[in-house]
Amino acid sequence: MPSDGPAAATQVLSRTTGARRISLVERYGVALAAGAFALAAQFALRSFISPSFYPIFLVAVAFSAWYGGFWPGLLTLAVTMVGALVIPAAPFSRLQLAQRSNLVLLSVFVLSGVVVSWLLASLLSARRRAERAAARTARVQALNLSLAPALTPREVAAIIVRHAMAALHAETGSIALLASDGKALEVAHAEGESPRDPEQHARESAAQGPLRDAVRTTNPIFLESAAERRARYPDLTEPDWPSGSLAVLPFVPDGNPIGALELSFAHDRRLGGEDRRYMLVIAGQGAQALERARLYEAERSARHHAEEAREQVAFLAEASEILGSSLNYRETLSAVVRLIVPRLADFCAIDVVETDGKMRRIAIAHVDPAKVEAVWEMSRRYALDPDDPVPRAMRSGEPQLIPVIPDSLLKSFARDPEHLARLRAFGLHSLLIVPLSARGRTLGALTFVMAESGREYGRADLLLAADLARRAALAVDNARLFGDAERALQAKHETLALLDTVFAGAPVGLAFVDRDLRFVRINDALAAMHGMAPAAHLGRTLEEALGTYASKVEPYFRQVLSTGQPVLDQELRLGLPAQPTGERILVVSYYPVHGPEDEVHWVGVVVL
């Protein structure tokens, strides 16, 4: 991923997140229609297809599961099965279930339908999970890389607005921040595609609109339609301004509001749970980045703090570079702990909650290797108690700052007199514990201890440590999200292998032809009808594979490619090479297979 600035990082985010979702009514309506169509087709072809074999029903179940998922596929299966049994004119009505062989045939049909529906639904589900996980990981990494070098609130605001607009396809975006008096809202950045000046609209929104309301209430605002927007903010609804959905997210670091982000959309769109969670992640990361930038700006304004602020930013940039250098968070966190000593602590340790729920210490640092080994030995010998400072901070999710460690704390922490004596020998003076939190979960804790240097931790140290802890938590969370994405992709590959097996062994003829009318996939059943091996078809045109019969089917392929509409149940009379002595009547259906740009990429054919 590029790391040469906000513009390069934002290029990663060109993904469509506002696509229309298929409603439940559509899913189950298509399932019912597919079942009815299968029954009608089976009835129409009853004189050509044996009543003991029903591939049309399985094709209908597969289509329903592909369109709507597992349960719509089962609904189509139920409709075809029940309809075939209770409709007097249907072929299944001749099936006597009292006969064991017929009952077995019906059971095989039902089981085949369930398997086909499950396989297709599993494939689609695995693909969606993999895409969501990969997109989420890429966006989080891109935003982190973009925010890392930004030092001022205006720079951070511009990065956040551009990132959010690109990721969510908003028409306009703006950020307003509280002024130094803590009352007035000032526009930090505004941009977008609108005839009207986005900054002027942002000023009005900050004065009497959604930006002001979000900061005052510290609650996000989601308006999913133009009607909701006009009802709530009639004075800000104008003809030359995007009049679709609206999302406003407050920035609330450490419980104190500092501003808000407003995103306007040109059309109504459903702001579902995934979109809202992602917006809240943007708001959370943006809040921390803005707070860091505000802190840096305040520190820089005071001459006697300028050098310290530069050192902190440089340290955070160096730590961010280490954390972003690898997805092996154990290695990167260990390197950051070594970076902390002796800049911010005499002793530093990091504990992480593993995926099994157990807390494990993964790194300890001190300039003296002998002391590091002594702390490791004590960690192995004396297990942490739930009431110890580190588990307590992780449980509460709140940092713990103890400027001067009292001897009473050492006594309460020690397990026995020997343990207390060894703790006192370290000369522990000041303690700071910061939880690692991401997406509402505590992933671990960073422990800073001052000993021989004698320095006491204060508020500025807490802010810096909290910023570092947030970056470390994001590194852990990103690594685990990446692992989840890899596992989802593996599941997808396994499901595809199963589907390939089903495709190759299906008892009906199946194939896919590209826009040049060349075979790209064909199963054994259809290849056998042509009297050629499946591999011999691949890359060949219809004319090369079928000879004189190509002219009878080629018009249907071209019709699907030009119209994007299926051509169903076309009767074809062929003297096939596999049956040279007679003529066989086939029923052929042609279906469009759409590509990523919604164009017809292939044509699928089903031969019965």
| pLDDT tops 80 at residue 447 | yes
In the prediction, which pLDDT does 237 show?
A: 64
Q: Which of 3-12, 52-61, 95-104, 191-200 has the highest mean pLDDT?
A: 191-200
| pLDDT tops 90 at residue 301 | no
Looking at the chain, the whole-number percentage of residues with pLDDT higher than 70 is: 84
Phi, psi of 548 (to 5 degrees): -70, -25
- How many CB atoms are located within 10 Å of the residue 234 CB? 8
Kind plus residue range of the DSSP H or E element containing 594: strand 584-594
In the prediction, which pLDDT does 187 show?
A: 92
| pLDDT tops 50 at residue 67 | yes
More confidently predicted of 496 and 77: 77
Phi, psi of 364 (to 5 degrees): -135, 140
- How many CB atoms are located within 10 Å of the residue 377 CB? 11
Summarize pLDDT for 324-341 with one digit per residue, the tens: 777 777 888 888 888 888
* Beta strands, E only, 164-278: 172-178, 185-192, 221-223, 246-251, 259-264
Quote the DSSP letter at residue 606: E
| pLDDT tops 90 at residue 250 | yes
The full DSSP string for 11-75 is GGG-----PPPPPHHHHHHHHHHHHHHHHHHHHHTTTTS-TT--HHHHHHHHHHHHHH-HHHHHH
Q: Tell me the average pLDDT across 477-494.
A: 74
| 8 Å CB contact between 122 and 130 | no
Quote the DSSP letter at residue 532: S
Least confident of 135-144, 158-167, 416-425, 572-581: 572-581
AA identity, residue 64 = S
In the prediction, which pLDDT does 68 show?
A: 76
* Residue 518 burial (C-beta neighbours within 10 Å; 0-12, 13-18, 19+): middle
Q: How far is CA 586 from CA 50, 482, 519, 550, 575, in A?
A: 13, 49, 19, 14, 11
Q: Which of 125-134, 147-156, 486-495 has the highest mean pLDDT?
A: 147-156
What span, in angstroms and rounded, lies between the C-alpha atoms of 136 and 608? 43
**Residue 215 banded pLDDT, cuts 50, 70, 90:** very high
In the prediction, which pLDDT does 341 show?
A: 85
Least confident of 178-192, 297-311, 356-370: 297-311
Average pLDDT for the chain: 79
More confidently predicted of 544 and 173: 173
**Residue 78 banded pLDDT, cuts 50, 70, 90:** confident
More confidently predicted of 264 and 88: 264
Q: Tell me the average pLDDT across 360-380.
A: 88
| pLDDT tops 70 at residue 240 | no
* Inter-residue long-range contacts of 381-385, CB under 8 Å, 24+ positions, other chains counted: 382/415, 382/419, 384/359
Q: Kind of pairing, strands 259-264 and 172-178?
A: antiparallel
Least confident of 42-46, 358-362, 400-404: 42-46
In the prediction, which pLDDT does 14 show?
A: 39
Q: Tell me the average pLDDT across 584-597.
A: 84
In the prediction, which pLDDT does 581 show?
A: 54
The full DSSP string for 103-139 is HHHHHHHHHHHHHHHHHHHHHHHHHHHHHHHHHHHHH
| pLDDT tops 80 at residue 154 | yes
Model pTM score: 0.39
**Residue 221 banded pLDDT, cuts 50, 70, 90:** very high
What span, in angstroms and rounded, lies between the C-alpha atoms of 359 and 443? 9
Q: Tell me the average pLDDT across 21-39.
A: 76
**Residue 219 banded pLDDT, cuts 50, 70, 90:** very high
| pLDDT tops 90 at residue 299 | no
In the prediction, which pLDDT does 211 show?
A: 92
* Beta strands, E only, 368-503: 400-402, 430-438, 441-450
Q: Tell me the average pLDDT across 470-480.
A: 80
The full DSSP string for 306-325 is HHHHHHHHHHHHHHHHHHTS
Summarize pLDDT for 379-416 with one digit per residue, the tens: 888 887 777 888 888 888 888 888 998 888 888 888 88
What span, in angstroms and rounded, lies between the C-alpha atoms of 149 and 8? 13
Token pair, residue 497, equals 């292998």
Summarize pLDDT for 110-122 with one digit per residue, the tens: 777 777 777 777 7
In the prediction, which pLDDT does 339 show?
A: 84
